[in-house]
Amino acid sequence: MTPHQATQHIVLVGACYLDTILRQGTSVPRYPQEDEKLRATELQVRRGGNCPNSLQVLQQFLAAEGALASPPASETQLHLVSPLPQRDSPATEQILASFGRGPSPPVDFDHCLFRAGHMTPASCYVLRSAATGSRTIVNSNTLPDMTVREFAAIVGAMTGRAAGERGHASTGRNAGRWWWHFEGREPATTLACMRVLRQELGESVQISVEVEKPGREGLRALAAEADVAFFSKSWAE
């Protein structure tokens, strides 16, 4: 990267899960009846969550772009902001390792919220029925959600550090180009976090949001506040 090229920062804010998927071949043969035993011949545990999965896709795109452009037109830094179990827990180690250490651009986890005393991650249990194709999902998440105050501190730390890395600590608000993407899971908190970004970064920030469930109150306000909104197909049905 030349001295005049600004780093592009893409920050994804959302929950990170460990998914447990029960399969028989590719699924269980049918959904079990209450109090029934049903054998699954395969169990898969993998990292899930919309924002972490999107980061993995971005890694693949950026790796392909880097292979085609030498040197690349600009440097892109990927960041995840998510509540996680405490830093040295086996679950957190598994989640962070799932992003790989190959040629793909690394993901910055420094501003994840590692919850001290919590060893269990947000978890998702999935049963897929071969008979109907349905997926039955049970979620469990005991990690404290991110607060607006925590998010404001993260924004200050990230933008200040980005400025310092370039040697212009006084221009933190304009150091590089910022795109922040939110999972619209907690609309009230997410809306307040978007407004923190507008206040702190002004016109230099791009904000996108995922609005998935039409019946969830507050999602329309998120879409109106964002520069880009990603709607699930449920909104068109």
- Give residue 134's pLDDT: 81
Confidence check: pLDDT of 203 > 90:
no
When pLDDT is cut at 50, 70 and 90, the band that residue 175 belongs to is low
pLDDT at residue 152 tops 90: yes
Model confidence, pTM? 0.85
What local confidence, expressed as pLDDT, does residue 195 receive? 96
Cβ atoms 209, 229 nearer than 8 A: yes
Sheet holding 76-81, edge to edge: 107-108, 76-81, 8-13, 177-183, 205-211, 228-231
Q: Rounded distance, CA 46 to CA 12, Å?
A: 19
Over the stretch 37-56, which tens digit does the pLDDT of each residue have?
A: 887 777 888 999 999 999 99
Q: Are 221 and 188 in contact (CB under 8 A)?
A: no
Q: Which domains does the chain carry?
A: 8-17+49-121+143-236 (3.40.50.720)
For 68, residues 6+ apart whose C-beta sits below 8 A from its C-beta are: none
For the chain, counts of helices (H) and of strands (E): 5, 12
Give the span between the Cα atoms of 31 and 19, in whole angstroms: 18
Q: What is the DSSP letter of 129?
A: B
